[in-house]
Amino acid sequence: MKRRIGFWISRMADLRAAAPVIDLALRRGDFETIVLRPAWPISRPYYTVDDIALRTALGPALRTVVVETPETLDRTIRDNTLDTLVTVMPTVSDVPASTAEGVRARTRSAGVRWVSLPFVYQQDLMCATEPETMTREWDLIATLGPYSLSVVESELSSAPAALRHAVLDRLVPVGYPELDGINALDREAILAKYDLPADRPVIFVSTAHTQRAHPRADRGRAALEARFRGWRPLTRRAVLALPFALPAGQIIPYRRYLARLRELADSNGAYLVAKTRTKHEDPSYIGEYVDRVIGDVSYFPFTTLELLSLSSLYFGFISMTALEALACGRYAITACALPLERIVPPLFAQWSRRYLLDPGTIANTPGASEVIDG
């Protein structure tokens, strides 16, 4: 009898990490593979999952099961006799934490194994800061590579040895599943898909995401972002925050970056493509500087990888897209447009520097990538 593996996919964006693994399981054929998705409205409705989208990405033979409510997730797992449930990161997105904890406890006591796939460094951060939860509630946590193991081991150096070993026993380097899609990319098909010119170099620009969705780190954050993006529309929050943002020193405006990128493209006969996401909430003036703005069209293969594979250069604003750029063999430039410690909580700033911005990290390795202090 084949083992049954379930994948919890509550957002289309989950497919970036999960789809290559689901595809492999389907092609191998030695598992019964089932995708579980929520019936309720999710926190980011633009990522809503439906069966048509799933089967478009993974094939018409894909078996999907709809979970009616968060409270019925464990019953759905039991009814489908799953041996393993796989999530993206060691969390159950769009399910309340207390509900998910109860589901895990009940199903694990019945023999179901809980496994998480990696999403850049998020699982490392969780293992380092929530080791008791990780060891209590997860059977296997996948991460990118040996650097992750060394970081987590270092962070837990003062923890009891038994706890440290329990975390490291669960944390397994597997690579980054999203990047498996690079092998299947076809240049001519991508050019046709996005109607891009075949006879011009492409510069890939990842648009700057808004900070409004992040936990508040600084009273001046709204005004800092307004200084970068522009003061229209002028929000009351930005005006009230202005006195706290003025001491931040020089901040290079977003328009200036875009204007210089436009000059670079024009001087090299290049086509300037801005890759965006709904949550970036791009200002309307983006279109004044770039030739095309493209959102998330597909997740398997992922639009970002498709466009990077065509590009000659990557430019972004404190984004782990730099990792995808390097995987595609593209030189990566990352701009720190705002003072990091003032726009995100200190822990996130620390880990972003450790994985992305410090010398020798993804965005800051001579010959491969560089960071601009804006």
| Nearest-angstrom CA–CA distance, 127 and 118 | 12
pLDDT at 351: 94
| Nearest-angstrom CA–CA distance, 136 and 127 | 11
| Nearest-angstrom CA–CA distance, 295 and 72 | 34
> What percent of the chain is modeled with pLDDT above 70?
93
| Nearest-angstrom CA–CA distance, 160 and 184 | 45
What helix, strand, coil percent values describe the chain, rounded to 5? 45, 20, 35
Mean pLDDT of 292-297: 96
| Nearest-angstrom CA–CA distance, 112 and 103 | 11
Give the global pTM.
Answer: 0.93
pLDDT band at residue 231 under the 50/70/90 scheme: confident
pLDDT band at residue 266 under the 50/70/90 scheme: very high
Per-residue pLDDT reduced to its tens digit, 14-33: 999 999 999 999 999 888 99
- Which residue type does 173 have? P
Per-residue pLDDT reduced to its tens digit, 121-150: 999 999 999 999 999 999 999 999 999 999
pLDDT at 216 over 70: no
Largest CA distance in the chain: 67
Is residue 88 within 8 Å of 18, Cβ to Cβ?
yes
pLDDT at 252: 93
pLDDT at 220 over 90: no
Between the CA atoms of 125, 131, 132 and 138, what dihedral angle is there, to the nearest 10 degrees? 80
Tell me the backbone φ, ψ of residue 261, rounded to 5 degrees.
Answer: -65, -40
pLDDT at 214: 55
Pairing relation of β-strands 202-206 and 313-316? parallel
Q: What is the mean pLDDT of the chain?
A: 93
β partners of residue 34? 6, 63
> What percent of the chain is modeled with pLDDT above 90?
81
pLDDT band at residue 279 under the 50/70/90 scheme: confident
pLDDT at 142: 98
pLDDT at 298: 93
pLDDT at 164: 97
pLDDT band at residue 248 under the 50/70/90 scheme: low
Per-residue pLDDT reduced to its tens digit, 77-99: 999 999 999 999 999 999 999 99
Class of residue 291 by CB neighbours under 10 A (exposed 0-12, middle 13-18, buried 19+)? middle
**DSSP conformational letter for 318:** S
pLDDT at 328 over 80: yes
Mean pLDDT of 333-347: 89
Per-residue pLDDT reduced to its tens digit, 34-69: 999 999 999 889 999 999 999 999 999 899 999 999
Is residue 27 within 8 Å of 8, Cβ to Cβ?
no
